[in-house]
């Protein structure tokens, strides 16, 4: 469902622009930041439908930021997709075990990326409506 707000936490300007442009073309609204600390603050204030979290961030990394989000009652139910350039073969399983709701490799495949965003939003839409 387009028009949902997505928070992009990504320190690389070109990656942030690509993700923003792809999402906005599909009708999503976006807000963005370059740090995990600022991402936490923005999530608390804006209550986005989804957060896209880079793992390699300056200061607090994406995994630590996720733990802060999950510990806060205001943000614990916001779905978070890990977006990382790590080439580890089992990275998806590792990120899901950390508590992320989805995972995408960088550089992103636009088709796979949009499918993952849609799948995670749809799964959490049902959770939000039930509560």
Per-residue pLDDT of 76-119, as tens digits, reads 999 999 999 876 667 888 899 999 999 999 899 999 999 999 99
pTM above 0.85, yes or no: yes
Report pLDDT for 14. Answer: 95
pLDDT at residue 29, rounded to an integer: 98
Alpha-carbon distance of 115 to 43, in angstroms, equals 23
Tell which phi-psi region holds residue 28, choosing left (phi > 0), alpha (psi between -120 and 50) or beta. Answer: beta
Mention every residue, 6+ apart, whose C-beta is less than 8 A from residue 78: 43, 47, 48, 49, 50, 51, 69
- Whose CA is closest to 20, among 86, 96, 83, 90? 83
Residue 103 has φ and ψ, to the nearest 5°, of -150, 140
pLDDT at 2 over 80: no
User: Could you tell me what percent of the chain has a pLDDT over 90?
Assistant: 81
For the cut 60, the answer to whether the pLDDT of residue 131 exceeds it is: no
Q: Which two tokens stand for residue 22?
A: 């792809």
* pLDDT at site 85: 85
With both helix axes pointing from N to C terminus, report the angle between 110-130 and 13-25 in degrees, rounded to the nearest 10: 70
Tally of CB atoms within 10 A around 54: 25
Query: In the CATH hierarchy, which top-level class contains the domain 5-130?
Result: alpha beta
- Domain definitions of the chain by residue range: 5-130
DSSP 12: -
Question: Around Cβ 131, how many Cβ atoms within 10 Å?
Answer: 6
pLDDT mean across residues, the chain? 92
> What pLDDT, on a 0 to 100 scale, did the predictor assign at position 90?
76
């Amino acid at each position: 469902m387009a028009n949902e707000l997505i928070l992009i936490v990504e320190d690389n300007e070109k990656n942030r622009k690509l993700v923003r442009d792809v999402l906005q073309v599909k009708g999503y609204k976006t807000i963005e930041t370059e740090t995990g600390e600022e991402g936490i603050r923005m999530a608390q204030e804006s209550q986005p439908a989804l957060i896209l979290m880079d793992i390699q961030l300056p200061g607090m990394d994406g995994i630590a930021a996720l733990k802060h989000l999950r510990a806060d009652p205001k943000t614990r139910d916001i779905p978070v997709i890990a977006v990382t350039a790590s080439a580890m073969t089992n990275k998806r399983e590792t990120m899901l075990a950390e508590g992320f709701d989805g995972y995408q490799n960088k550089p992103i495949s636009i088709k796979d990326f949009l499918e993952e965003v849609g799948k995670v939003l749809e799964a959490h839409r049902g959770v939000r409506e039930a509560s």
